[in-house]
Amino acid sequence: MSSLTHFDAQGQAHMVDVAAKPATHRVAVATGRIEMQPATLALIESGTAKKGDVLGIARIAGIQAAKKTSDLIPLCHPLALTRVALAFALAEKSNAPQVVCTATVETVGPTGVEMEALTAVQVALLTIYDMCKAVDRGMRITDVHVLEKHGGKSGSYLAAP
């Protein structure tokens, strides 16, 4: 296992120097889900939640979050993102009804976009919670992780199924 890159030789936290790294096309896909009561999922699906279009607002929140990741995570580089896309899937087939969020983030640059994809998913799911908490305070955000990443020196990563 390689050493942690966000610490210098003296053990001090620092922003990684990416100046010498070539700009490559980079993509990251992250996912996560929020579990809820069946009635909460029905509200989201019907578009009749008191605060409006839950998934539409969550999509915009996730896009904004990806763009602001370096403001939230202290050692992340500010990146010129070329694409941020969020998709939602509503599922009733498991133990708990849920909304699954998948974020795809792209850039052409010297560092990856995994943090931006993870941040987009988390904030989108938090937005769903915020918009639905009046009817369901027991919602649970879970399973947030990187599904895949491509580009850069380390190449591609695909999460195990």
Torsion 3-23-76-115 (CA) sign: negative
Catalytic status, residue 71? no
Q: Which of 121, 120, 119, 115 is nearest to 100 (CA)?
A: 121
Q: Which of 130, 129, 116 is nearest to 64 (CA)?
A: 116
Catalytic residue among 17, 53, 71, 130: 130
Q: Give yes or no for a contact between 44 and 54, defined as CB atoms under 8 angstroms apart.
A: yes
Q: Looking at the chain, how many residues does it have?
A: 161
Quote the DSSP letter at residue 5: T
What is the set of active-site residues? Answer: 130
